Amino acid sequence: MTSSFPAVLTIAGSDPGGGAGIQADLKTFTALGCYGTSVVTALTAQNTKGVQAVHPVPSSFVDEQLRSVLDDIDIKAIKTGMLANESVVRTIAHALKSQSSSPSPPPLLVIDPVCVSTSGHTLLEQDDESLNTLVRDLLPLATVITPNIAEAALLLKYKKQTDTPKKNEEEDAPRSITSIEDMLRVARELCALFGSRSQAVLLKGGHMAHGQTRLEDVQEVVVAVAAAGQQVYKVEIEGELVLPDDANMEVLFHAAAQDPASASMRDVPVVVDVLCEREEQQQGGGGGRGGVEENVRFTLFVRPYLDSNSTHGTGCTLSAALACALARGDTVVEAVKFATTYTHYGIATAFPVGHGHGPLNHMHSILPRMVQRPTPNDPYPLVRMLIRSNADIWKQYVEHDFVRQLGQGTLSRDRFVHFIKQDYLYLKYYARANGLLAAKSSAYADFVAAADMVLAIAKESKMHVAFSAQWGVDLAELECTPESPACTAYGAYIMDVGLQGDAASLIMALAACLIGYGQVGLWLQCEAKKQQPQSWVKLEDNPYRTWIEDYSGEGYQSAVKIGIERIEALAVHDPPSPKTIEHWKMIWERCTRLEKGFWDMAMNLS
C-alpha cells in the first residue's frame, strides 16, 4: 500500500442503516483517500431511530479477523468504536500490544470509547470487568482518545473509583461538565490518568450547551486562563469557520445577516472541542524527575453550532477522519483540525435519510471541490478563502493609516482632496472594466448585473462630484487632474486582466475594491459604536463622516452583497480547479496590494 493511499483499519460494530459503525468509517476512509479495512466486533439491528438489538461477535473470531488484516496489510492507523464486551476489549488490547513488539512502527491508534448510543442502548457492557480492561489495557495504547462529555465523565469516575475507594455516595455520580472550564479540567485529568506521554485526549463538546455557548464565552475563558497565570495552559483557538474580531470580515456577516444590525461574530453560537496534549519541558538545573517537567497544551477547536437532526454517527465519523489524517502524517493538532472540519461539513450538507436522527453526508468531499459549497453557517466560503489567502495585506489595506486618520477626523485636507481626485479618475477605469465584463458575459442576467454596476458607478461619481465641491474642488478640476502612477497602475491592471482573461478573472480583479471599501466602512462604524475610551473613531464633528456613512450605509452594502454572491456563484456553478484557485488568489492579492498602494499614494501626495 503506497503512502498516497494509506491503509486504515476500523474495529467497530456494524450498522445496517449505514449511518454509524464500520459503514460510516469505511465511507469516511474512502472519501478521504484512504484504503479502508474493517474488523467487526458486533452485529446490530439499528436505524436512524435507535438501536433495537446487539449480537456480539465471539472474541475468538474478532481475533481471527484482526490478525488476518494485520498479518497482510501495512496498516498506518487504527480506530476503535463499539467493542461490545470485556472479552472483545481484552482480545484487541492483546493483539495490539503484540504489534508494538514488531520491527515496524505500530499503527497509530484512535480510540472512540463508545459506551452508550444516542438512543440509550448499551454498546459496551458497563460492568467492572469491561471498564477495567478498557481503562487498564486498551486506553494506554492510544495516540488519541475521543470521548464525548458523558463518556469522559464515566471514564474519569471509574478510574478514580478504582484508584481511590469512594468515601461517600456523592462520588458515585459522574463529574459535572457544563462549561468550557469544566472541559479543560476534565481533559487534563484524563490526559494525566491514562497512558503514555505520547497520548492526547480530544474531549468533544457537541453534547454540551446545545447552541448556548458563544464565541464571546470562549474568548472570556482564554483571557481568564491567561490572567490566572497558569502557564501550563496554552489555549489556542482553531477553526476556519469562526472568525476573530480582528479578521476584518464583518462585511461577510453583514451581507449574510437577516438583521444586519445584529450581525456580530461574538454572537455566533459555537461548539467547542478541547484537545489536551502532553508536553515535556526541561527544568533549569536538571531538578526533579531527571530534569523533565511534564506540562499540557490545550487547543480549542471552535466551529459554528448546527441545529440539525443529521447527527447519527458523528463520533464514528470524526474518529475515522482523525485516523485518516494521522495515517497521512499530520500532527495531532492538524489531524483534529481536519477531522472536525470534515465532520462539520458532513452535518451541514447532510440530506434527509430515515425518520429519526439521520446520518451525515460522508460524500461531501468526494468531488474535488477546492471551495466548499455555501452553507447557512458559511455562506461565502470563496471570499473567506480569498481574504485569508493574503490576510496580512488585507489587514494593511483595511486598517491603513489613511483609514485610521479618516476615522479620527485627523486626516489632512490636502491628502483627502488628492485621494478624491484620483478616486474619481479611477472610477472611470472601474466603469470601463464592468462594461468589458458585460461584453464577456453570455447570459442576460450577467448583462443586467454588469449594467447595474456601471449605473451604480455613475451614481457614485456624482457623489464624488458633490463631495468634492464641499472641499472646493469643482468638476472641471476633477476632469483635468493628472493621473497619479498609482491610479494608472491599478486601472491598467484591471483592464489588462479583462482583456487577457475570462469573465471570472475580471470579476476577481474588481472585487477587492468593492468588498474592501465595504469592509472599511463597516470597520469604522463598528469601532465608532464601541464604548469610550475603547473607541478611537470619532464621528461627531468628523469632516469625513459622510464618506464613512456612505460606504457603511445600506445602499453601498447592498451592492457589496450582490458582488459577493456573484463571486460565490462562480465556484458553485463551475467548481474551480486548483490552478484556477491559485490564479484567482494571485489576482486578488495583486488588487489588494494596489488598493493599499492607493492609500499610500494619498498619504504621500504622489
What's the pLDDT tens digit per position in 440-475? 888 898 888 888 888 888 887 887 788 788 888 899
Give 465's Cβ-side CA count (13 Å radius): 9
pLDDT of residue 131: 83
pLDDT of residue 323: 98
Out of 17, 239, 313, 518, the active site residue is: 313
Out of 44, 80, 143, 314, the active site residue is: 314
359 preceded by cis ω (within 30°)? no
pLDDT of residue 37: 98
For residues 403 and 472, the model is more confident at 403
Average pLDDT of the segment spanning 410-415: 95
DSSP string of 385-429?
HHHHHTHHHHHHHHT-HHHHHHHHT---HHHHHHHHHHHHHHHHH
Out of 34, 316, 513, 591, the active site residue is: 316
For residues 349 and 172, the model is more confident at 349
Between CA 344 and CA 360 the distance in angstroms is 9
Known catalytic residue at 313 = yes
pLDDT of residue 48: 93
For residues 405 and 167, the model is more confident at 405
Average pLDDT of the segment spanning 384-392: 94
Q: Which of these, 48, 128, 120, 46, lies nearest to 85 by C-alpha position?
A: 128
| 496-534 core/surface letters (b: 16 or more CB in 10 A; e: else) | ebbeebebbbbbbbbbbbbbbbbbbbbbbbbbbeeeeee
Q: Which of these, 178, 177, 158, lies nearest to 166 by C-alpha position?
A: 158
Known catalytic residue at 315 = yes
pLDDT of residue 378: 87
pLDDT of residue 466: 84
SS3 content of the chain, % helix, strand, coil (to 5): 55, 15, 30
Least reliable range by pLDDT among 199-208, 218-227, 288-297, 563-572: 288-297
Q: Which of these, 420, 431, 446, lies nearest to 502 by C-alpha position?
A: 446
Using the predicted structure, report yes or no on whether residue 284 has a pLDDT greater than 60.
no
* Confidence category of residue 287, pLDDT binned at 50, 70, 90: very low
Known catalytic residue at 21 = no
For residues 98 and 27, the model is more confident at 27
pLDDT of residue 370: 82
How many helices (H) and strands (E) are present in the chain, helices listed first? 21, 10
pLDDT of residue 119: 54
In degrees and rounded to multiples of 5, residue 205 shows phi and psi of -105, 15
Per the CB < 8 A criterion, the answer to whether 563 and 508 are in contact is no
Between CA 341 and CA 241 the distance in angstroms is 8
The proportion of the chain whose per-residue pLDDT surpasses 70, expressed as a percent, equals: 85
CB count within 10 Å of CB 222 equals 17
Using the predicted structure, report yes or no on whether residue 257 has a pLDDT greater than 80.
no
CA distances from residue 403 to 8, 228, 436, 519, 553 in whole angstroms, order as listed: 53, 37, 30, 11, 17
CA distances from residue 327 to 75, 79, 340, 383, 473 in whole angstroms, order as listed: 9, 11, 16, 31, 66
Using the predicted structure, report yes or no on whether residue 1 has a pLDDT greater than 70.
no
Show the beta-strand stretches assigned E in 288-444: 292-304
CA distances from residue 29 to 2, 83, 323, 365, 366 in whole angstroms, order as listed: 15, 20, 9, 11, 11
Question: Locate cell 488476518: which residue?
Answer: 68
CA distances from residue 432 to 202, 506, 598 in whole angstroms, order as listed: 54, 11, 19
Q: What's 315's DSSP letter?
A: H
Least reliable range by pLDDT among 64-73, 162-171, 322-331, 562-571: 162-171
pTM score, two decimals? 0.76
**Per the structure block, which three cell numbers stand in for 464?**
464624488
Between CA 285 and CA 527 the distance in angstroms is 49
Known catalytic residue at 324 = no
Using the predicted structure, report yes or no on whether residue 126 has a pLDDT greater than 70.
no
Out of 37, 91, 299, 311, the active site residue is: 311
CB count within 10 Å of CB 477 equals 14
pLDDT of residue 235: 57
For residues 262 and 596, the model is more confident at 596
pLDDT of residue 368: 64
How far is C-alpha 374 from the chain's CA centre? 13
Average pLDDT of the segment spanning 108-113: 95
Out of 195, 206, 315, 498, the active site residue is: 315
Between CA 558 and CA 540 the distance in angstroms is 25
Give Cβ neighbours of residue 97 (< 8 Å, ≥ 6 apart): 137, 141
Average pLDDT of the segment spanning 310-325: 96
- Write the single-letter amino acid at 226: A
Between CA 561 and CA 256 the distance in angstroms is 8
Question: Measured at the alpha carbon of residue 428, what is the angle toward residues 427 and 434, in degrees to the nearest 5?
Answer: 85
**Per the structure block, which three cell numbers stand in for 561?**
452583497
Between CA 259 and CA 252 the distance in angstroms is 13
Between CA 51 and CA 350 the distance in angstroms is 21
Q: Which of these, 151, 39, 26, 29, lies nearest to 92 by C-alpha position?
A: 39
**Per the structure block, which three cell numbers stand in for 54?**
446487539
Known catalytic residue at 204 = yes
Give Cβ neighbours of residue 201 (< 8 Å, ≥ 6 apart): 144, 145, 147, 187, 190, 191, 194, 275, 276
Give Cβ neighbours of residue 353 (< 8 Å, ≥ 6 apart): 19, 48, 310, 359
Mean pLDDT over the full length of the chain: 86
Known catalytic residue at 299 = no
* Confidence category of residue 293, pLDDT binned at 50, 70, 90: very low
Between CA 250 and CA 239 the distance in angstroms is 17
Using the predicted structure, report yes or no on whether residue 64 has a pLDDT greater than 90.
yes
Per the CB < 8 A criterion, the answer to whether 421 and 473 are in contact is yes
* Confidence category of residue 377, pLDDT binned at 50, 70, 90: confident
pLDDT of residue 534: 73
The proportion of the chain whose per-residue pLDDT surpasses 90, expressed as a percent, equals: 57
Between CA 511 and CA 390 the distance in angstroms is 14
* Confidence category of residue 160, pLDDT binned at 50, 70, 90: low
Sign of CA dihedral 555, 556, 562, 564: negative
Out of 204, 337, 421, 561, the active site residue is: 204
- Predicted confidence (pLDDT) per residue in 568-592, tens digit: 999 988 889 889 999 999 999 999 9
* Confidence category of residue 357, pLDDT binned at 50, 70, 90: very high
Element (H, E) at 548: helix 545-552
Using the predicted structure, report yes or no on whether residue 557 has a pLDDT greater than 70.
yes
pLDDT of residue 233: 47
Least reliable range by pLDDT among 2-6, 213-217, 465-469, 540-544: 2-6
Burial (Cβ within 10 Å: 0-12, 13-18, ≥19) of residue 218: buried
